[in-house]
Amino acid sequence: MRFHLTRPASAAMVAALAATMCAVLPAVAGASPEARISKTYKLSALRTDIVVASPSMGKDVKVSVLTPRDGHGPRPTVYLLDGAGATQGVSDWITKGRAGEFFADKNVNVVLPMGGAGTFYTNWRSDDPKLGKPQWETFLTRELPPLVDRQFDGTGRNALIGLSMGGQAAYALLSRHPKMYSGAASLSGCPPVSGPLNQGYVRTTVAKGGGDADNMWGPPGSQLWRAHDPLLHLGALRGKNLFLSAGSGAIGPLDLAPRPTDGLPRDAVNASGSVLELGAYRCSLEFAVQLRQAGIKYTDGFRLIGTHSWPYWRGDLPLAWATISRGL
Q: What is the CATH number of the domain that holds 53?
A: 3.40.50.1820
Residue 7 lies in a domain: no
- Report the SS3 class of residue 271: helix
Residue 85: Cβ within 10 Å count: 17
Residue 26 lies in a domain: no
Query: pLDDT class for 267, splitting at 50, 70, 90?
Result: confident
Residue 17: what pLDDT? 38
Residue 206 lies in a domain: yes
| pTM given for the model | 0.89
Residue 43: Cβ within 10 Å count: 12
Cα separation of 208 and 120, whole Å?
A: 12
Host domain of residue 45: 35-327
Residue 195: Cβ within 10 Å count: 15
Residue 85 lies in a domain: yes
Domain count, the chain: 1
Residue 75 lies in a domain: yes
Residue 269: what pLDDT? 77
Cα separation of 65 and 50, whole Å?
A: 8
Query: pLDDT class for 29, splitting at 50, 70, 90?
Result: very low
Residue 66, pLDDT > 80, answer yes
Residue 50 lies in a domain: yes
Residue 26, pLDDT > 50, answer no
Concatenating the DSSP letter of every residue in 89-135 gives SS-HHHHTS-HHHHHTTSSSEEEEE---TTSTTSB-SS-BTTTB--B
Q: Mean pLDDT across the chain, nearest whole number?
A: 89
Helices (H), the chain: 11-24, 26-29, 92-95, 99-103, 136-138, 144-152, 165-176, 196-208, 214-217, 223-227, 253-256, 266-293, 310-324
Residue 72 lies in a domain: yes
Residue 22 lies in a domain: no
Residues 6+ apart with CB under 8 A from 288: 244, 298, 300, 302
